[in-house]
Structures are given as C-alpha cells and as structure tokens.
Amino acid sequence: MLQAAYVYHPDSLNYVFRRDHPFDQRRLVMTMELLEQVQALPENAIHIPSQPLNEQLLQRVHIPEYIETVKQLSLASPTEPYLSQAGQYGLDYDETPFFKGMHQSAAAIAAGSVYAAELVMSGKAEHALHLGGGLHHALPQKGAGFCIYNDASIAIRHIRDHYGARVLYIDTDVHHGDGVELSFYTDPEVFTYSIHETGKFLFPGTGRVEERGAGEGFGCTINVPVEPYTEDDSWLECFSTVLQQVLECARPDVIVSQHGCDAHALDPLSHIHCSMRIYREMPKLIHQAAHDFCNGRWVALGGGGYDIWRVVPRAWSLLWLEMSQHAILSEIDRHPLLALPTAWLARWQQESPVPLPDTWLDDVSRWEPMPRRSEITERNRHICELAASYLK
C-alpha cells in the first residue's frame, strides 16, 4: 500500500474562465514544481486517472438539465435555448461564466477526486491528494463561486454508494462549503464540518452556526463562522477544539478534506488575517485524526486560493509534505523561516507581479497586530462553544 498518492489530471489545467479571472490554474503547476524542487514528488507517487467520470455518478449530485446545459455551453458556438438559459444555471456572470470545454475539464476534475477516493477506499493508498479538486460551491442545479461540478460531493457520493462508509467532510476554505453541505444535509452518514469567515460579509453568505442539518441528518452539519481579521491563534483554537468534538461524534470511516488556502492575510478575496502557520498545522491535525479514527483513510482536495504567487504553492506543498511525511517537514518545524528553493523562486519570479516570499512560513514578527484582537478572539470562542454545544 502506498502511504500517499498524488492525483493529477492534466485536463484540469483547461479549467480556465478567462485570462484575468481570479481562479488561476497556474497554481497547480507552481505547486508541483515546488515539490519537485525539494525531491518530494517522485514519479511513482503521481497518479493520473485513466477513466472518464461516470455520468450516472455525476447525476447523483447534479440534475440532468443542469448537466446538459453545461455540455451545450461548452461547445465552441452554443445555441439557443442554452444561451438564454445560462443565467438560470448560474453560468453567465463574471463569477462563474461559461467557457469552451468547461464540461470536459470540470468532469476531469471530478474524475480526479473520485479516483483519489477510490485509491483510498480500495486500499491501494492510505492517503490521496487531488489538488485540482475541492470545487465545493457548485449546487445540484447551478454553478457558483467558480465551481461547475461539485467534485467533493461526487467523490463522497462514490464512497457512500460503493463502500457504505461513514464520511467526515472537513472544509478549511475561508468560504463556507455550501454545496457539499447541501448535498448531504439530510444524510446521517455524512458529517460536514466547515470553518470559514462569517457569511455576514463574505460569499456565499451561508454557514451559520445554526445550520445543523435536517431530518435524519440533523446534528451532522457543523459550522464555525469566524470573525473578519481572525488571526492564527484564534483560527487554530477554533478549528482544533471543534474538530476533536466532531470526530468523537461522527466516528468516521474516512475523512475527506478540502484545503482552500484563502484564509491567508494576502488573499484578495477574504478578510481573514492568518499566516502560513495554519496551513502547516491544520493538515497535521487532520492527518492525526485519520489515523486515530479511520485507520489512516484520508482523501484531501484543493479548493480556493487566489494569491497564487505568495500563498497557494507553499500552502499546498505543506499539505503534501504532511501527507507523505517528507523529511523536510522536520526542518521546517525546527526552522520556520527555512528558505524556499532558489531555482523555484528564480523560475516564478519572472512571471509574478509581486515579490515572492523566500521562506516556507511567514515572518509574522513583521506584521502589525490586528486591532480588536481580544474582542475577535472572544467572539470566535463564543461561536465555538455554541457549535460544540450542538454536538452534545
């Protein structure tokens, strides 16, 4: 059995809305090249899915009318009535505009996440990472938040249909994992746990602590919406405290986690003020949880992250380094300001519009502390206590 598999589908690079869109798949290439520079991505760890996405599985999450509209709008010259229906399905706005070939690339992303889940559930790999995945905002009947097909929901549905396993979905993206929550809102065998910036100020506006599931799934939805300008200590306190209680309640057979890295202070699409430290610590906590509760079964997906130069490659590399237990991790833990490879920096600084950081973690001693830190921390603690009380 492999300790960790790195799933990569080349067609995911074709998931491009337009050149100036914040969703930029160069982050996948940058991450792979960074890992290669530190000899952390051997060829035998990389797995490329060979099978297309099963259409029946796609229909287990999305309605047929939506799928057909996506297919038709993927053509070089879409026709009526699909052009006029694009808005109905969330595909004609700047946020998630339709583009040529979007069905093929979105289906490839979903196929990658299903393949990662199959590697783990079949026992071929203990852990599997698919950074192209994590498109958690897509809804059954529409695209949203840069997401066409909800690959996370599709992968979980595959696990449920083929293995009957009890799933804990953990979402660390700064935006609430609304699409996955909705997919399993009434399912008592799928727990969803999302920590995110409060929807009072941020897309998609959902994820209140009072959202707890419905019907047989009541109590299986857990949300921790934190305050804007939350910093590392408070974010990690909330995440770790509630995670442990969720694990005790859920008792999962497998963990599926989403690792959007847009809670960083440099991300342009949120208001959280965390550093790279949370992207070292959260994977460590999830990794330990997988071994404590799931015999190691852990499927990790990518997600948001819109500072592709200074944040995403480091954050996602740290995730893989934890998952694969690479030796450089101990060096980073001893020396948080360990230098990034000079060859990688030289390669990407040529394209980057901003100076690249040259260390694995951030030197937060240079950062100005947030005003209202104590007030923000206390508000977050209150939310954590409320979320935890709902689990009892």
User: 22-31: per-residue pLDDT in tens?
Assistant: 999 999 999 9
Q: By the 8 A CB rule, do 17 and 97 touch?
A: yes
Query: pLDDT value at position 103?
Result: 98
Chain centroid to Cα 190, Å, comes to 17
In percent, how much of the chain has pLDDT > 90? 96
Query: pLDDT value at position 360?
Result: 98
Backbone conformation region of residue 368, classed left if phi is above 0, alpha if psi is from -120 to 50, else beta: beta
Note the residue count of the chain: 392
Q: Each residue of 80-100: b (16+ CB within 10 Å) or e?
A: eebeebbeebbbbeebbbbbe
Reported as a single tens digit per residue, the pLDDT across 77-107 is 999 999 999 999 999 888 999 999 999 999 9
Residue 226: strand pairing partners: 197
- Statement: residue 392 has pLDDT above 70: no
| Six-digit token string for 100 | 């040529």
**Confidence label for 369 from pLDDT (cuts 50, 70 and 90):** confident
Query: pLDDT value at position 200?
Result: 96
Residue 224: strand pairing partners: 195
Q: What is the mean pLDDT of residues 215-220?
A: 97
| Six-digit token string for 263 | 């809670």
All residues at 6 or more sequence positions from 300 whose CB lies less than 8 Å from its CB, including other chains:
116, 127, 128, 129, 130, 256, 257, 258, 259, 283, 286, 319, 323
Reported as a single tens digit per residue, the pLDDT across 319-352 is 999 999 999 999 999 999 999 999 999 999 999 9
| Six-digit token string for 135 | 């498109």
| Six-digit token string for 168 | 């804990």
Instruction: Fill in the amino acid letter for 267.
Output: D
Reported as a single tens digit per residue, the pLDDT across 240-296 is 999 999 999 999 999 999 999 999 999 999 999 999 999 999 999 999 999 999 999
Query: CA triplet 28, 31, 32: central angle to 5 degrees?
Result: 85
End-to-end CA distance of the chain: 37
pTM for the predicted model, two decimal places: 0.97
Catalytic residues: 137
Place of tokens 């804990």: 168
Q: How many helices (H) and strands (E) does the chain have?
A: 13, 8
Give backbone dihedrals phi and psi of 47, rounded to 5 degrees, phi first: -125, 125
